[in-house]
Structures are given as structure tokens and as C-alpha cells.
Structure 1
Amino acid sequence: MLKKVVLLALPGVAPFEFGVVCEVFGIDRSDSGGPLFDFTIATATPGPVRTSLGFDMMIEQDLSVAADADLIAVPAHAIESVDEAFLEVIRAAEARGAWVLSVCSGAFALAQAGILNGRRSTTHWMHADRLAAQFPGTTVDADVLYVEDRKVVTSAGTAAGIDAALHIVRKELGAAVTNVIARRMVVPPQRDGGQAQYIDFPIAENCSDSFAAVTDWMLGNLGEDLTIDQLARKALMSSRTFARRFRADMGTTPAAWLNRQRIIRAQHLLERTERSLESIAADTGFGAAAVMRHHFLKVLQTTPTAYRRAFGERVAS
């Protein structure tokens, strides 16, 4: 059972992600039916630890307190080489079957320790490509809030750490206990890890001049039924050459690129207008709200209605 939790304070630690772990595991909520964890903060050399915002935190405990922890938590930190002492703690926790949790760039410490090899993982979308490039032994999913793979839990940025931490509590202590913590924190008791991070994917800045004009035209005509043959004629190429060179330059197929731009446009309209789903679907080239819903579920793992509820502005009537 989850009782002892040790939070690692690494140099360059991010205060918010550090605070997320403290908030979930470091507060006594037994008066309202919640848990009381044996919670400790530890670092390699006790004393001041400089945060990413430039102030110091005084940490009194060394890493020896982590030897029997049920959970080792690693918050976001400076993405450089991590002290071997921290890596040994992480490896030992994984080897004895304890939970290991990272928040945001904390995944890099787990990867340096080697425990992400052969596992799925995630991190903040801004760091995902770097994590995948530096540590090819892990399969990085940049589109989700958190991933659990055999008691190693990695999460995306900021608030996704709350979701990941509550996921561990739910697995160990059940939904009722998790609801107590969530209610006190005023957060949803459960957001599925597969929910998308809601990332904008802007147009690739490094596309060649040969595609600049055609991609601009595509963006200006998202509502139209655009075919490869039509796009190829705009680019003054054969259809086969256009498809091959577009993929080489843009890193994806014309259809996939166009679909992503339609989703981005639909997100923008859902956030900033009160137009109907059918109107937005027609304007963005999906044709019908049901088709747009299908693509939102496939790419963002949410529906247009849920997306608008979460991110839409209140438009004055």
C-alpha cells in the first residue's frame, strides 16, 4: 500500500511542479477522510537548492530516506545531466517495484536512469521531440496527459502532474480517497491519461519555397474539397511528385497536413465564437459536425463540444 512518498529536489527544480506533488501527498487530510502520507523531501546534498525561478529552497534530508519509499516523485527540473545519486535512487525504486512519478521534464531524469527503456512515456509537448531523440529506448507519446507503464508514471506539463499523482492514489487507495483529495484541491477527481494536451501545431516554418504558395492557398480554402490533383496543379507538379516532395519537405502527407490545419482552425472558432458545430464544420472543410467530431476524437481524444466547454470564451450576447 502507498504510505511513504519521497519527493526529489533536483537543481533547477520548477516550483509549480514541485508544489503539485507537495499538494497531493504532503498535506494531512485525515480530518475529512483523506490519507496521511509519510511525506519527505530529499536532495543529494542537504542545504539550499536553487529553483528554476532563481530562489533557494532549504532541504534538510538527504537521499538515504528514499531507500524504502513506496513512491519516488521527480518534478520538472533543468534538463541537463542529473547527479548520479538521484539516478541511483530512481533505479532502486523501480527495481524494488515502488512507484516512480515524473512531472513534465522530470521524465529526463527517469530516462537518464534507464528506467524508461522499453516503456511508453510522455512529457511536456515542448520537450517531447528532445526526449525521443536523446532516449530512443522509450516510446514517447506527446499527445497525452500522462502514461503509466508498469508503475512508472510520466506526465505532461503543470496541471497534468496533478492528474498523474491522483491516478496513482486511485490505483493504490481507491476512488473515495482520491475524491477527498481532489475535492480539497478543487480539481476533477479523474482525467483520463489519454486526454490530449491540446497543442497547437502551427504551419512548419522550414517548408521550402516550392510549397509556401500552395500551403498559403490551402489555408485560404480550408472549406473546399481539396484533392491531390488540384494541389499538384497549383504547385505545377504531377500528383505523384507533389505527394512525394510534400511529404519529404513537410514531414507528413498533404491529407494529414490539411486535416491538422482544419482542426486548428476549428479549435480557434470553438474557442472564440458561438457558431454552431455544423457551421464550423462546413467552414473548416469537415462538411458535417459528425465528421468533425470523428477527427477531434481521433487526434485530440475529445469532442468539439467538450473542447469548447473547456476552452471557449464567454461571448457577450
Structure 2
Amino acid sequence: MAKIMMLLADGFEAVEASVFTDVLGWNEMEGGGGTELVTVGLRDRLKCTWNFTVIPEFTLGEVELAEFDALVIPGGFEEAGFYEDAYDPAFLDVIRHFDTHEKWIGTICVAALALGKAGILQGKRATTYNGVGSVRQAQLKDFGAQVQQDPIVVENHIITSHNPSTAFDVAFLVLEKLTNTENTKHVKKLMGFEK
């Protein structure tokens, strides 16, 4: 059983989190199984970018990082306070833990900036939000990343992506890395992404 932590920062985008809950949920109900997604936050109530309130299953102090096999992080908006949590030392320590143990890390959109702030993208290929004059990509470059223009970049055990439109692709890629290609195609077909 692969146990996946979805680490949520206040101000995250609900749609970027929901793709992981749905893809991994479909895998458990209709696919090959073998995955468990656990939601974790720095606080016991989180407000999404568009004011949707979420209660994570656990706060960070209630979990043992060693129990998890992968980390996924949805992005969010600065205006909603995303970087307050995403740049918090405790949040960054989680990222460093998964990187040190070379466990899969999957991010969507600006969540890649938390990886950069954690110092794990130095000299590595990565991407992040590609709109608004590529301000976020410039920030990622300042963290030492080799910014790519591909929608999704896989560098060793790290997955980064451009924007919310890549969310399902990242979720399916995480599923494939934790299970296999055949199972992922099966789940995609069940969800209507493949004929």
C-alpha cells in the first residue's frame, strides 16, 4: 500500500487538490487499489483561494513522515495567503524529508515554488505557473531551478507543472509512478479520459 500525503497550505486551490482525491479515490474503488491519500495541513481548518473551508484529516504534528511513500502539493494564490503556509519552516521541512528519502513529490502550479524555497530544485529542471508575464517562473529561477517551458517536468522523483490545466495529468502521473501504467490507463478509461 502506497500512502500519499497531500500537504495543504492555507489559500490552496480546491480544484488542484480535488484531482488527487478523485484520481486516487477512483483507483481505490474501481482501479487496482494499493493507494491511500491522507490530507495534512499546518492548521486544523484551511480556507481555499475562493473561501471554501476545508478540514484536513490531520495536522502536521499528528503524523509520522516516515509512514508516507509520496507527497503531493496543490498550488494556491498569494492573495489568499498561500505562501504563508507554503514557505513556513515546518512545511519546507516536510518537502526536504521526502526529497532526502527520494520519495515521489508531485506539485501543481505554484506549489513548485515551495520546493524551490525548500532548496531542493537547485540546478534541477522544473516549471511553475506560466502566466502573468512568467513572474512565478522568474521566482523559481531565483531559487536555482532550470526553468522549463514544458507543461509538466519530471526530474528524478520530482514532478512540477505549469498551471491548473495540468492538474489531472499530474495526478495520473503520480498514480502511474505508485502503481503502474496499465492500472493508470484503466482508471483513466473509467473516468472518461481514455476511450
Under TM normalisation by the shorter chain, which class is it?
0.7 to 0.9
Check the 8 A contact 2:113/2:140 in 1, yes or no: no
Give 1:153's aligned amino acid: I
On the 8 A contact 1:43/1:61 being kept in 2, the answer is: yes
The TM-score normalised by the length of structure 2 is 0.85
Q: Are 1:159 and 2:165 matched, yes or no?
A: yes
Match of 1:12 in 2: 11
Q: CA shift at 1:77, angstroms?
A: 1.8
Higher share in strand: 2
Q: Secondary structure at the match of 1:104?
A: coil
* Residue 91 of structure 1 pairs with residue 96 of structure 2: yes
| Correspondences of 1:3-82 after superposition (within 5 Å) | 3-25=2-24, 27=25, 29-30=27-28, 32-45=30-43, 47-63=44-60, 64-65=62-63, 67-68=65-66, 69-79=68-78, 80-81=83-84, 82=87
2:127 and 2:150 in contact (8 A); partners too: yes
Matched, 1:138 2:145: yes
Match of 1:104 among 109, 112, 124: 109
Matched, 1:187 2:193: yes
Deviation of residue 188 (structure 1)? 4.3
Gaps of 5+ in 1: 190-317
Go from structure 1 to structure 2 and tell me whether the alpha carbon gap of 1:114 and 1:172 turns closer, same or farther (over 3 Å shift).
same
Shift in Å, 1:38:
1.8
CA distance in 1, matches of 2:90, 2:12: 16
Aligned-residue identity in percent: 25
CA contact under 8 A between 1:6 and 1:41: conserved in structure 2?
yes
Distance 1:116 1:66, change over 3 A: farther
* 2:193 partner SS: coil
| 1:101–1:83 Cα change, 3 Å | same
Gaps of 5+ in 2: none
Give 1:180 shift: 1.9
Render the CA deviation track for 1:209-230: whole Å, top value 9, x for unaligned.
Answer: xxxxxxxxxxxxxxxxxxxxxx
TM-score under structure 1 length normalisation: 0.54
Match of 2:155 in 1: 149
* Separation (CA, whole Å) in 2 of partners of 1:24 and 1:179: 11
What's the counterpart of residue 297 of structure 1? none
Given that 2:129 and 2:136 are in contact with CA atoms closer than 8 Å, whether structure 1 keeps it comes out as no
* Alpha carbons of structure 1 residues 57 and 119: separation in structure 2 relative to 1, 3 Å: same
Alpha-carbon distance in 2 for matches of 1:83, 1:150:
25
Residues paired across the two proteins, number: 185
Cα distance, 1:15 vs. partner? 0.7
Preserved CA contact (<8 Å) 1:132 1:139: no
Q: Does 1:121 align with 2:120?
A: no
Measured at CA, do residues 114 and 188 of structure 1 come closer, stay the same or move farther in structure 2, by a change above 3 Å?
farther
Partner of 1:281: none
Structure number with the bigger relative contact order (C-alpha 8 A, sep ≥ 6) is 2
Q: Which secondary structure state, in structure 2, belongs to the residue aligned with residue 171 of structure 1?
A: helix
CA–CA separation in structure 2 for the residues paired with 1:158 and 1:90: 21
Aligned partners of 2:139, 2:162: CA distance in 1, in Å?
17
SS state of the match for residue 58, structure 2? Answer: coil
Q: Offset of 1:44 from its aligned partner?
A: 1.1
CA distance in 2, matches of 1:11, 1:60: 14
The Cα of 1:65 is off from its aligned counterpart by 2.5
Which structure has the greater CA radius of gyration? 1
